[in-house]
Amino acid sequence: MHEISLATALIDLVHEQAAAARARRVTRLVLEIGTLSHVDAHALRFAVDAAALGGPAEGATLEIQEPEGTAYCLDCETSVAISARGAPCPRCGGVKLLVQSGDEMRLKEMEVV
- Tens digit of pLDDT for each residue in 73-86? 999 999 999 999 99
- The mean predicted confidence, pLDDT, of the chain is 96
Residue 59's pLDDT band (cuts 50, 70, 90): very high
Is residue 61's pLDDT more than 70?
A: yes
Confidence (pLDDT) at 39: 96
Q: Looking at the 3D structure of the chain, how many domains does it have? A: 1
100: CATH: 3.30.2320.80
The full DSSP string for the chain is: -THHHHHHHHHHHHHHHHHHTT-S-EEEEEEEE-TTS---HHHHHHHHHHHHTTSTTTT-EEEEE-PPEEEEETTTTEEEEESSTTPPPTTT----EEEEES--EEEEEEEE-
The residue segments making up the domain with residue 79 are 3-112
Confidence (pLDDT) at 1: 57
Confidence (pLDDT) at 110: 97
